[in-house]
Amino acid sequence: MAVTLKEVAELAGVSRSAVSRTFTDGASVSARTREKVEKAAKTLGYKPSLIARSLATNRTKLIGLVANNFQNPAFLDVFDLFTSELQKRELRPLLVNLSAETSPKKVVELLRQYSVDGVIVATSTLPTSFAIAFQMAGIPVIHTFGKFQANANVHVVGIDNDYCGAMAARTFSERGYRTVALLGGPETATSTQDRAAGFQRTAGELGLKVAKVCFAENYTYKAGRDAMRNVLENPDIEAVFCGDDLICMGAMDAARDAGKSIPDDIGFLGFNDIGMAGWDAYALTTIRQPIRDIIMSSVELVVGMVENPDRSPEIRLFPCSVVERGSLRPIPETG
């Protein structure tokens, strides 16, 4: 049977309230009392109840981790990092899968039932209305991978997707490509919209022709393979910017099925730099999103928000970079 608080109090020769205060963060207890309680607890093998502690402190230490993109293996790494970093800080992640949920109100009601201390909306495929709904309900919230807006009224941690789209266009221009295509992720995702805008605008400025723009239904290999067949209807396309590495891998295999050699006949540029991007079968040149830095910053921010829910909205953006492999022609040598 589990050791009770009463048994610890009797062995330590103190009151039950003294035992409770000893295991409550920030509670007042003398050094002598703490020493006696901790010694008795160790002798008996007592572990304080997390539920009882949450009732005493009005803090559950639960952090809602909300997402809807579980098909993409890149998000497994995201969740692994999030959960491990939260647990290091003695916070407990509550993972919520919103793949079939579209109502911010219902999601807020769900997490309120668990009295979460804060929420991280960890996807770009949910509209900003989800993060705002938590904020309006008085729940500290961060939108990780959210849309960058100069006048954002919720905390956002991520990247400037418009700038990354422009980076993709410049990457093609440096390699001498002139007729290119965009194969984005789901069209409703704010990240897709911003990357497409930056890509098309900068391509026009650099004299590139964007001969095809299409979008994958979701962030999966199959969706990329299916969408690439649409791109291949234009035989003049020299290179394709894909909004996600897994989509890009499907697109590359569709191109190979059509008899195309990579990068001799057609080049590919991915996004994220997931582990599979380095596999020899793909050797994918891609734009690396610093996912670890984004997650570490998000966890740091949510911890600060739980302590100070009224802090002003903050935007934290991290730089991306091109990881060179073998799916694009090299930059021509000069001189």
What single string gives the DSSP state of each residue in 178-241?
A: -EEEEEES-TTSHHHHHHHHHHHHHHHHTT-EEEEEEE-SSSSHHHHHHHHHHHTT-TT--EEE
Q: Could you tell me which residues are beta bridge partners of residue 208?
A: none
Alpha carbon distance, N-terminus to C-terminus of the chain: 80
62-159+291-319 matches 5-57 in CATH topology: no
> Edge-to-edge strand order for the sheet containing 179-184?
209-215, 179-184, 239-242, 267-272, 286-288, 321-323
- How is the chain split into domains, by residue range? 5-57, 62-159+291-319, 161-289
The pair of three-digit structure tokens given for residue 255, joined into one six-digit string: 């191109």
pLDDT at position 23: 76
pLDDT at position 56: 52
Superfamily name and number for 5-57: lambda repressor-like DNA-binding domains (1.10.260.40)
CATH of domain 62-159+291-319: 3.40.50.2300
Candidates 165, 93, 154, 162; CA nearest to 129 is 154
pLDDT reading at 58 higher than 70: no
Q: How many CB atoms lie within 10 A of CB 245?
A: 30
pLDDT reading at 68 higher than 90: no
313 pLDDT tier (thresholds 50, 70, 90)? confident
pLDDT reading at 34 higher than 70: yes
pLDDT reading at 18 higher than 90: no
pLDDT in tens, 232-271: 999 999 999 999 999 999 999 999 999 999 999 999 999 9
pLDDT at position 236: 96
**What is the average per-residue pLDDT within 330-335?**
79
CATH of domain 161-289: 3.40.50.2300
pLDDT in tens, 128-187: 788 888 888 888 899 999 887 766 688 999 999 999 999 999 999 999 999 999 999 999
pLDDT reading at 51 higher than 60: no
pLDDT at position 74: 72
52 pLDDT tier (thresholds 50, 70, 90)? low
